[in-house]
Structure formats: C-alpha cells, structure tokens
Structure 1
Amino acid sequence: MIGLSPAMTQLKKEIEIVAGSDLNVLIGGETGTGKELVAKAIHQGSPRAVNPLVYLNCAALPESVRRASCWSCKRGFYRGYQ
C-alpha cells in the first residue's frame, strides 16, 4: 500500500494495531475501496500470517447466519440460528 496522505498514514497505523491483536476483523466499504488489500496487509503483519487468509463475504449470507458467523454466537442465541 502506498500513499502519504493523512488518511493513508492513519490507515497504516490502524492496520499495524489490528495486526498485533488477536481479534477477528470485519472490514466494510464500498466496492473498489481496497478492502482486500487491507485484509491482506493485516494478515501479513500478524502472527497468523503462517496460516491461510480466510475471506468471508458477509453480504452474501442471510442475516441470521451473518451474525452467528461473525460474532461467534451460540445455538439458540438468535432466532433461526441452528
């Protein structure tokens, strides 16, 4: 990722912070804004970089499955979640 604008500088700082954490990450944005590049940068800068990067297109999932998949819900927590 290249760029020296304040927005890019801030993005790079945030990528570094997130990459150092042990958290799942949800990246949102319009088509063509570089979500995949951000995901790859986070993954490459993390201790998990030795493992494959897994993408999940949340927009393609029904809402009940989306909530359960992204937020590690237990069975019965959301109506319709099996």
Structure 2
Amino acid sequence: MHTLRAMALIERAVELSESGFPGDALAEACSRASREERQAVLCIVRSRLVQSGQPATPDEVMAALREMVRGAPSPVL
C-alpha cells in the first residue's frame, strides 16, 4: 500500500515541478505523508538513481522521476 501512495506522491511532485513550483517539489508533495510513505518514496528515488553511480542534482532527480511517471525521457531544465 505504501508503494502505491509513494507513486502518487511522486506523480504529484512531477506535476508541481512541471507547473513551475518555486521550491522543492518532492519535499512539498511529501510534506503531509506518513513516515512509511516518505520511506517508500526515498526507496523508489534511490532505485531510479542507483544506475548512474554518481550523486544526482535536484534537477536530475526530478528528470528521473518525470521519466518514470511519464514513461519517456525528458531533458533536465
């Protein structure tokens, strides 16, 4: 159940990012989530970024999440 909610939170973060949210879209999307839901989001984010082997910038994190949600690569803004 936490995984489904985490995916919804990630999708909300992508929507916020695409709408020009001025802050950290992922933090905002998770601001009212439970500890377990935030942990599930963190696990998903880490699994998406582990392939690169290098620390990711916030823009790279959002690009990876956008790709996951939308199903197609998107450029880092």
| TM-score, length-scaled by structure 2 | 0.31
| Structure ranking higher on relative contact order (CA contacts 8 Å, 6+ apart) | 2
State the structure with more CA Rg. 1
Structure with the higher helix share, 1 or 2 = 2
